[in-house]
């Protein structure tokens, strides 16, 4: 492979913004890839894949290159040189890149690969926590999370179905397969930019990981129901619910971030989902009137996001140990507050994109022992393993409310 100066420099610029300015990798790449309109899809792929690779293996490469954060520009070029050497790419004679000790780099790689925290390129605290709570399965799970995520689409059943979507994409020279066991999923054979396709503009699909697609179906919705999505965000699962409800009934999509709900509105318009009403949560007044009145409640809870490292490798460096405890407390609080919306005989789904038991089954176990939680029974729960599925790590629990609440008469 011949390296092109402008592409390598673009990758180094992106790494500077991610590592030194603490910017989000996907947002940085979006910006950097617009830099030169002459770049073709191959050029863009090279920049994106190089950046994501170096972000993913930051700790390992830093150790090999003997550099530490904050990274100077020469240090970023050293990280790039390690990445290229380990891929067998010949380094050009550029003044920005020092002479590369190929044998030493490969020797150090072999040596460090025997130690899990370097091999999987993770902070010490994350390795210790993973081992403590997941025991022997931690090895397999973290290795799976370091593999690049496949691109999975959710066929929008308001517009099409997986079989038809495959045919439409095939006409646009995009090869796909239908993964077994996922009713709405279509998976790309090779990574391609699907957002420029006419099928996307016409609302035929959303990009949504296969594990994430299981959440809305867990809620067991039907046309005509009243459903509340309490941590709706930009609405991937909200749109799935609208499709499952055939646009009939009401979905109240709520979130504390107004910007995310604006994005949901844009996506809903494209998907032709008409039964969604968005509401910003400013205080408990925003949802108290819904106490005991909602058929189905979805709590796609804020979490560490550890199950999504495949697609968000920079999360490894952004997460801090104290955040784990904070988010667990927040999840417990959210469960207490939002479970009150479920009417008698209604159902609630609690989901996270984490693989930590304390955010998942242990959180639900704790909730069921509270006064509020005693009104509910656990119908089923599922922990989705990245190692076993190749998709994101997820947890989903379905709870049904048994009878009237002590809070039945509250507004």
Q: Tens digit of pLDDT for each residue in 279-292? A: 999 999 999 999 99
CA of 393: how far to CAs of 227, 352, 356, in Å?
25, 9, 10
Token readout for 149 is 């995520």
> Of 80-94, 123-137, 170-184, 394-408, which gets the smallest average pLDDT?
394-408
* pLDDT score recorded for residue 41: 87
* pLDDT score recorded for residue 403: 77
Instruction: Please provide the average confidence, as pLDDT, over all residues in the chain.
Output: 95
pLDDT tens across 341-370, in order? 999 999 999 999 999 999 999 999 999 999
CA of 268: how far to CAs of 90, 186, 222, 236, 362, in Å?
47, 20, 19, 10, 34
- Closest by CA to 273, choosing from 311, 245, 296, is 245
Q: What are the chain's domains?
A: 5-121 (1.10.940), 152-207 (3.30.70.1170), 214-401 (3.40.50.150)
Q: What is d(CA 273, CA 236) in angstroms, rounded to the nearest whole number?
A: 12
Residue 185, sorted as left (phi over 0), alpha (psi -120 to 50) or beta, turns out to be beta
CA atoms within a 13 Å half-sphere pointing along the CA-CB vector of 201: 3
| C-beta separation of 7 from 47 below 8 A | yes
pLDDT tens across 291-309, in order? 999 999 999 999 999 999 9
Q: How many CB atoms lie within 10 A of CB 45?
A: 16
Query: Whole-model pTM?
Result: 0.94
Section 310-330 average pLDDT: 96
Q: What is d(CA 177, CA 5) in angstroms, rounded to the nearest whole number?
A: 36
Give helix then strand counts, H and E, for the chain.
19, 11
Q: What is d(CA 116, CA 114) in angstroms, rounded to the nearest whole number?
A: 6
Q: Judge whether residue 176 has pLDDT over 80.
A: yes
Residue 269 phi/psi, 5-degree rounding, is -65, -45
Section 115-131 average pLDDT: 98
Contacts of 147 (CB under 8 A, 6+ apart): 310, 390
- Which residues are marked as active site? 353
* pLDDT score recorded for residue 404: 63
Q: What is d(CA 4, CA 153) in angstroms, rounded to the nearest whole number?
A: 32
Q: What is d(CA 244, CA 375) in angstroms, rounded to the nearest whole number?
A: 27
> Of 250-259, 319-328, 398-407, which gets the smallest average pLDDT?
398-407
């Amino acid at each position: 492979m011949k390296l092109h100066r402008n592409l390598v420099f673009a990758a180094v610029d992106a790494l500077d913004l991610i590592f030194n300015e603490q910017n989000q990798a996907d947002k940085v790449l979006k910006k950097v890839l617009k830099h030169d309109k002459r770049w073709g899809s191959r050029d863009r792929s090279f920049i994106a894949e190089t950046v994501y690779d170096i972000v993913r293996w930051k700790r390992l490469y830093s150790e090999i290159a003997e550099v530490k954060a904050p990274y100077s520009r020469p240090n970023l070029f050293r990280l790039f040189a390690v990445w290229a050497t380990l891929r067998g790419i010949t380094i050009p004679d550029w003044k920005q890149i020092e002479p590369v000790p190929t044998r030493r780099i490969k020797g150090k790689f072999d040596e460090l690969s025997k130690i899990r925290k370097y091999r999987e390129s993770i902070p010490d605290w994350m390795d210790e926590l993973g081992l403590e709570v997941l025991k022997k399965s931690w090895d397999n799970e973290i290795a799976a999370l370091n593999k690049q995520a496949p691109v999975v689409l959710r066929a929008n059943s308001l517009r099409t179905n997986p079989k038809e979507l495959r045919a439409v994409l095939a006409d646009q020279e995009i090869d796909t397969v239908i993964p077994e066991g996922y009713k709405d999923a279509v998976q790309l054979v090779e990574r391609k930019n699907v957002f420029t396709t006419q099928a996307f503009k016409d609302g035929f699909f959303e990009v949504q990981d296969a594990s994430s697609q299981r959440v809305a179906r867990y809620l067991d919705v039907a046309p005509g129901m009243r459903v509340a999505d309490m941590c709706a965000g930009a609405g991937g699962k909200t749109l799935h619910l609208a499709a499952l409800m055939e646009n009939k009934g009401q979905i109240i999509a709520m979130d504390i971030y107004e910007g995310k709900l604006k994005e949901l509105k844009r996506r809903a318009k494209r998907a032709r989902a008409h039964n969604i009403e968005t509401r910003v949560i400013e205080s408990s007044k925003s949802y108290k009137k819904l106490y005991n009145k909602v058929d189905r409640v979805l709590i796609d809870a804020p979490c560490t996001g550890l199950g999504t490292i495949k697609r968000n490798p920079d999360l490894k460096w952004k997460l801090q140990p104290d955040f784990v405890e904070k988010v667990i407390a927040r999840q417990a609080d959210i469960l207490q507050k939002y479970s009150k919306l479920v009417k008698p005989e209604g159902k609630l789904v609690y989901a996270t994109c984490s693989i930590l038991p304390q955010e998942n089954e242990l959180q639900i176990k704790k909730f069921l022992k509270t006064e509020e939680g005693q009104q509910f029974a656990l119908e089923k729960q599922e922990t989705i393993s990245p190692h076993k599925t190749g998709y994101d790590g997820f947890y989903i629990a379905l709870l049904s409310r048994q009878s009237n609440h002590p809070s039945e008469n509250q507004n």
